[in-house]
Chains A and B, each alone.
Chain A
Amino acid sequence: MFTKDLIDNLLSSSVEEHLHKKIEEIKKKDKEINSFITLGIEEAEKKAKEIQKKIDENKQGKLSGLVISIKDNIAVSNLRMTCGSKVLENYIAPYDATVTNLIKKEDGIIIGKCNMDEFACGSDGTSSYFGPTKNPVNLDYVPGGSSSGSAASIAADFSDLSIGSDTGGSIRCPASFCGVYGFKPSYGMVSRYGLSDMAMSLEGPGPFAKDTYGIALLLDVITGKDPRDTVTIERDSSSYLKTVEDFKECDIKNLKIAYAKEFFEGVDEEIKKIILDKIGNLESHGAKIEEVSLPNLKYAISIYYLVVFSEFSSAMSKFDGFKYGHYSGGQDIVEAVSSTRETAMGTEVKRRVLLGTFITMEEVRGKWYTKALKARSVIKDDFKRIFNSYDLLIGPTMPTLPWKIGERISDPLAMYSADILTVSANLAGVCASSQPVGKVKGLPVGLQLHANSLSESKLLKGMRAVEIANGGM
Chain B
Amino acid sequence: MVETIINDNVIERVSEIARLKLSEKEKEKFREEFERILDEFSIVDEIKVGDKELYYVVENVNVLRKDSAPKPFNKINDIKNNFNKKEDDYIVVPRNL
Chain B at the A interface: mostly helix, strand, loop or mixed?
Answer: loop
Q: Which residues of chain A from 315 to 360 have a CB within 8 Å of any chain B CB?
A: 317, 320-325, 327, 329-339, 341-342, 345, 350-351, 353-355, 357-359
A233 part of interface (Cβ distance < 8 Å):
yes
Contact (Cβ within 8 A) A374 B20: no
- Given A305-B41, A313-B18, A351-B30, is A374 in contact with B57 using a C-beta cutoff of 8 Å? no
Q: Kindly state the separation between the CA atoms of A317 and B85 in the bound complex, as whole angstroms.
A: 19
- Interface residues of B toward A: which range? 35 or more
Chain A at the B interface: mostly helix, strand, loop or mixed?
Answer: helix
Contact (Cβ within 8 A) A91 B47: no
Q: Kindly state the separation between the CA atoms of A94 and B23 in the bound complex, as whole angstroms.
A: 35
Chain A 35-75 per-residue mask, 1 if CB under 8 angstroms from chain B, else 0: 00000000000000000000000000000000000000000
Contact (Cβ within 8 A) A188 B18: no
Of B22, B33, B94, which one neighbours A330 at CB under 8 angstroms? B94
B1 part of interface (Cβ distance < 8 Å):
no
- Given A332-B94, A373-B55, is A354 in contact with B15 using a C-beta cutoff of 8 Å? yes
What's the least CB distance linking A113 to chain B, in Å?
16
Q: Which residues of chain A from 417 to 464 have a CB within 8 Å of any chain B CB?
A: 427-429, 453
Contact (Cβ within 8 A) A353 B18: yes
B9 part of interface (Cβ distance < 8 Å):
no
Q: Kindly state the separation between the CA atoms of A351 and B34 in the bound complex, as whole angstroms.
A: 8
Contact segment of A101-109, A132-140, A284-292, A363-371: A363-371
Of B43, B53, B93, which one neighbours A370 at CB under 8 angstroms? B53
What's the least CB distance linking A433 to chain B, in Å?
18
- Given A337-B19, A354-B15, is A188 in contact with B58 using a C-beta cutoff of 8 Å? yes
By a CB distance below 8 angstroms, the chain A residues around B15 are: 354
Of A230, A233, A361, A377, which one neighbours B54 at CB under 8 angstroms? A377
Contact (Cβ within 8 A) B52 A377: yes
Count the A-B residue pairs with Cβ separation under 8 angstroms: how many?
169
The residue of chain B having its C-beta at the shortest distance from the C-beta of A336 within the complex is: B94
Contact segment of A214-222, A237-245, A296-304, A397-405: A296-304
Contact (Cβ within 8 A) B52 A357: no
By a CB distance below 8 angstroms, the chain B residues around A317 are: 19
Q: Which residues of chain B from 12 to 37 have a CB within 8 Å of any chain A CB?
A: 14-15, 17-23, 26, 30, 33-34, 36-37
B18, B30, B50, B94, most chain A CB atoms within 10 A: B18
Q: Kindly state the separation between the CA atoms of A321 and B21 in the bound complex, as whole angstroms.
A: 14
What's the least CB distance linking B33 to chain A, in Å?
6
By a CB distance below 8 angstroms, the chain B residues around A92 are: 78, 81-82
B interface, CB within 8 angstroms of A: 3-4, 6, 10-11, 14-15, 17-23, 26, 30, 33-34, 36-38, 40-58, 60, 65, 73, 75, 78-79, 81-85, 91, 93-96
Question: Lowest 3 CB-CB distances: which A-B pairs, in order?
Answer: A429-B57, A94-B78, A324-B82
Q: List 29 A-B contacts (CB under 8 A).
A: A77-B75, A95-B75, A188-B60, A201-B56, A302-B40, A302-B43, A302-B44, A305-B41, A306-B44, A322-B85, A322-B91, A323-B82, A332-B94, A332-B95, A333-B93, A333-B95, A336-B94, A338-B21, A342-B23, A354-B14, A368-B41, A368-B44, A371-B45, A373-B54, A374-B51, A375-B47, A377-B52, A378-B49, A453-B58
